[in-house]
Amino acid sequence: MTMLSPLQDYAATIEALIFASDRPIRERELIVHLPENMDLAEVIAAVALRYDATSGIELCQVGDGWAFRTKAEIAERLSQHKQVERPLSRAALEVLAIIAYHQPITRAEIEEIRGISLSKGTMDILLELGWIKPRGRRRTPGRPLTWGTSPAFLDHFGLADVGDLPGMDDLKTAGPASQRPNSWRLDGPYTAK
């Protein structure tokens, strides 16, 4: 039987926790499984080393959490597809984009950007999908609720952070929306991750 170093032993524990979870595991949830003198970043690096270029799986940071994902080049070859239960309306797509790029943002600010009032059902759909969540209240008269994207939004779109969203230059070079990869489409099948 091979003796593991303390780092290898705790890396195996963290790896198992991330692997067994159906959602990204937040760093604060992982830290509780480590002794005080052990650095989580060092343990995560040890776990990531196990999944090299020959592996079809990679350890990905999703917001303030970690998850295992199929590498993009492998995912393209997988035949398993997941159907979105209902396509998102154009209004829901607009609202999601506005929230993603302007968060934290109030409902009134969303309506001002869109130039049209927002139906309650639009926000309900995005909340139901778990892609947006309340971010607190503005310290202005009326204390309006602000909205932002959630870790589920980042996970669905394969983003580590909101800063990874395409910028204006990226969008201009991407061309028409129909040329974007299927993983960015919300109205049809996408490759399961």
**Is the pLDDT reported for residue 74 higher than 80?**
yes
CB 75 within 8 A of CB 193: yes
**Is the pLDDT reported for residue 150 higher than 90?**
yes
Q: Which amino acid is at 191?
A: T
Say what the pTM is. 0.59
Going by pLDDT thresholds of 50, 70 and 90, the confidence category of residue 183 is very low
CA-closest candidate to residue 14, choices 37, 39, 28, 33: 33
Residue 96, CA distances (Å) to 18, 60, 153, 183 in order: 28, 23, 10, 16
When pLDDT is averaged across residues 115-127 and rounded to a whole number, the result is 89
Domains (range + CATH), the chain: 6-75 (1.10.10.10), 82-191 (1.10.10.10)
pLDDT of residue 188: 39
- To the nearest whole percent, how much of the chain has pLDDT over 70? 83
CB 43 within 8 A of CB 7: yes
Q: Which amino acid is at 103?
A: Q
